[in-house]
Structure 1
Amino acid sequence: MLVVSEEVRTAVAERRPVVALESTIIAHGLPRPRNLQVAEELEAVVRDEGAVPATIAVLDGVPRVGLTKDQLQRVANDEDIRKLGHRDLPLAVATAASGATTVSATALLAARAGVRVFATGGLGGVHRQWTQSQDESADLGLLARTRIAVVCAGVKSILDVGATLERLETLGVAVAGYGTDRFPGFYLADSGHPVDWTLRTPGEVAEVIRAQDALGGPDSALVVANPVPRAAQLDPALHARVLAEALAACEERGITGQAITPFLLGELVRRTGGASLEANLAAVRGNVRLAGRVAAAWAAR
């Protein structure tokens, strides 16, 4: 059921560097036609680092690791394409549906294809008001049982970052800051929370990946938290003000549960004049570039 492009399949077989890329940012995260431009840019960044890009999606019920140019255009332009987490994959396959993959679905399919490094923007996590909603991203549980290195900019600052870090610890998912002892907050270089481990070079990250494989144990992920450059982050004071106002609006309007996150994200884009989106893209570009370097270092084993 899993179709791996010839380029990706050959690279994996020859132990050359490959970087998995999610497709949700293409289908649902950016306006057209910028989404396709960004998708092509991110694949080019991977190639610039000497690695093979493996953008992942499900098309007509077929999970695909590595897309052609036409398939990438379809993901970017099809208004009916769904958003698929890993729990949705059997349903999409059985019904011949098409969908863009989230972090959890991308990580699962990448690992099944033998791809060891995955770049994304930010992870999902524990949502605010968890004690009432019990709302937690499926990303966390999937990463607890999937052997893959995920280069990300932490988790979105609209989530409960502290609770997310606690949950990752409970699940046994290794977390390290890249060049920092602070956990990034996606739009922000520093979420306000520390990390216990700091890795400073792609080679060090690759050594951790090798150590995971050598030690065995549970097939859990390595989260490499790479902060957005401070010059490109969302202004922290603006972020704090807009987030506080958006949270107050949630309270006033009775917005609860799963509706909170999309509302807060929309408010951040609207109230910052698109600055949050630009910080998002800066984070993604940095993560993809770092992932390419990590994949190259790991392949040089």
Structure 2
Amino acid sequence: MSQRPLRPRRTASITAALERGGAVVALESSVLAQGLLPPFNREAAARMMRAVEQSGATPAITAIVRGEPSLGLEAADLERFLARDGVRKVSARDLGIAMADGADGATTVAATLALCQLCDIELFATGGIGGVHREAPFDESADLVELARSPVIVVCAGAKSILDLPATLERLETLGVPVVGYGTDELPGFFSVTTGLRLAARLDTPAAIARAWRAHRALGRSSAMLVVQPPPAEHALPEAVVAQATAQALAAAREAGVRGAAVTPFLLARIQQLTNGRSVHANLALLEHNARLAGQIAVALLALSSTSAGSPRAEP
């Protein structure tokens, strides 16, 4: 017997937004519970949610809360996640297990995409996606597969700079995930503005992205659309600085024998040290920047839907 997909628990504000047909933007919780350290994770949450709201949309942090898939976090739950009080990292494969265990789980990009599908949320803002690892090409993030099967617009600053960016871009092409530069012709480098990797598509307004998304979906395509924008120039790091810090961090990881899921947090923490904290401020700025753009696109999608609904039907 087939089982109907459950509906995640929703906060009152998100329920109200969905019932009135308002714009909602999903935000991941792993960046808060396993990514940025306190107090920067608290600042990130506040800045992302405020940016979405200022765009006219409603922010929705995704998570597993005591075993319940959740869209939005109540104040007490958010505090627990920010304090990292027994919160596990949850990818898409881990959602059911976290539910069965009654656990608190902070959702990665992959897990957030899975929850977006359950709620029909079309916009998701994050910092950077996972991808193909540099020194272990067989090791690629579950984010890529979820992007290939999740009809969600994902706004980010590209893939994390510690990854093999050319290989990641190639995998996205193979998986049929369109990558659109917002105001840029090349893939951003997460912490840096440039990478030298040219993109096949560029769009310069939220309305243009909304139209491209509707065309993508009208074709029956079920993949995500990755919208990439550079970090704000005043907070971005030079590409050479990021490359040098990443190389040193990778060498340190090899020497320390760091492997598997521990590699990414190790590398990001080491890059923070090597850049004297500049990478953290770039990260905060790009998270806010991406959340604002996602909110603007969500509002543009609503406007496009209203226009389409109000236009006269074409004569056969």
Q: Which residue of 2 aligns with 1:231?
A: 234
1:55 & 1:161 partners in 2: Cα distance?
A: 27
Q: Which residue of 2 aligns with 1:197?
A: 201
Supply the AA of the counterpart residue of 2:64.
V
Of 67, 73, 94, the match for 2:73: 67
| Cα distance per residue 1:82-111 (max 9 Å; x no partner) | 111111000011110111111111111122
248-257 or 140-149, larger mean C-alpha shift: 248-257
2:151 & 2:264 partners in 1: Cα distance?
A: 28
Query: Unaligned stretches of 5+ in structure 1?
Result: none
- The alpha-carbon distance between structure 1 residues 82 and 35, as it changes in their structure 2 partners (threshold 3 A), is same
Conservation of the 8 A alpha-carbon contact between 2:195 and 2:239: no
Supply the AA of the counterpart residue of 2:131.
G
Q: Which residue of 2 aligns with 1:12?
A: 18
Residue 286 (1) aligns with residue 292 (2): no
| Cα distance per residue 1:201-249 (max 9 Å; x no partner) | 00011111211222213x1000001111222112333222222222333
Supply the AA of the counterpart residue of 1:75.
F
Of 220, 223, 241, the match for 2:223: 220
Shift of residue 32 of structure 1? Answer: 2.3
- The alpha-carbon distance between structure 1 residues 99 and 115, as it changes in their structure 2 partners (threshold 3 A), is same
Conservation of the 8 A alpha-carbon contact between 1:36 and 1:72: no
Shift of residue 263 of structure 1? Answer: 2.8
Conservation of the 8 A alpha-carbon contact between 2:194 and 2:239: no
Residue 137 (1) aligns with residue 141 (2): yes
Conservation of the 8 A alpha-carbon contact between 1:103 and 1:123: yes
User: The residue matched to 2:231 in structure 1 has which SS?
Assistant: coil
1:6 & 1:212 partners in 2: Cα distance?
A: 32
Q: How many residues align structurally? A: 298
25-34 or 174-183, larger mean C-alpha shift: 25-34
Shift of residue 271 of structure 1? Answer: 1.1
TM-score, with structure 2 as normaliser: 0.89
Query: Unaligned stretches of 5+ in structure 2?
Result: 1-5, 305-316
Shift of residue 5 of structure 1? Answer: 2.5
Supply the AA of the counterpart residue of 1:103.
V
Of 37, 40, 51, the match for 2:43: 37
Shift of residue 30 of structure 1? Answer: 2.2
Q: Which residue of 1 aligns with 2:106?
A: 100
1:202 & 1:149 partners in 2: Cα distance?
A: 12
2:192 & 2:104 partners in 1: Cα distance?
A: 33
Q: Which residue of 1 aligns with 2:192?
A: 188
Query: After superposition, where does 1:129-168 map in structure 2 within 5 Å?
Result: 129-131=135-137, 134-168=138-172
Conservation of the 8 A alpha-carbon contact between 1:12 and 1:114: no
Shift of residue 269 of structure 1? Answer: 0.8
Shift of residue 300 of structure 1? Answer: 1.0
Supply the AA of the counterpart residue of 2:161.
S
Q: Which residue of 2 aligns with 1:272?
A: 275
Q: Which residue of 1 aligns with 2:86?
A: 80
- The alpha-carbon distance between structure 1 residues 51 and 30, as it changes in their structure 2 partners (threshold 3 A), is same
User: The residue matched to 2:241 in structure 1 has which SS?
Assistant: helix
Shift of residue 11 of structure 1? Answer: 2.1
Q: Which residue of 2 aligns with 1:58?
A: 64
Supply the AA of the counterpart residue of 2:172.
L
TM-score, with structure 1 as normaliser: 0.94
Shift of residue 257 of structure 1? Answer: 4.8
Shift of residue 254 of structure 1? Answer: 4.8
CA RMSD of aligned residues (A): 1.6
| Cα distance per residue 1:141-160 (max 9 Å; x no partner) | 01100100000000111100
Identity level (%): 46
| Cα distance per residue 1:15-58 (max 9 Å; x no partner) | 21111111111112222233223212221111111101111111
Instruction: Considering fraction of residues, name the structure with more strand.
Output: 1
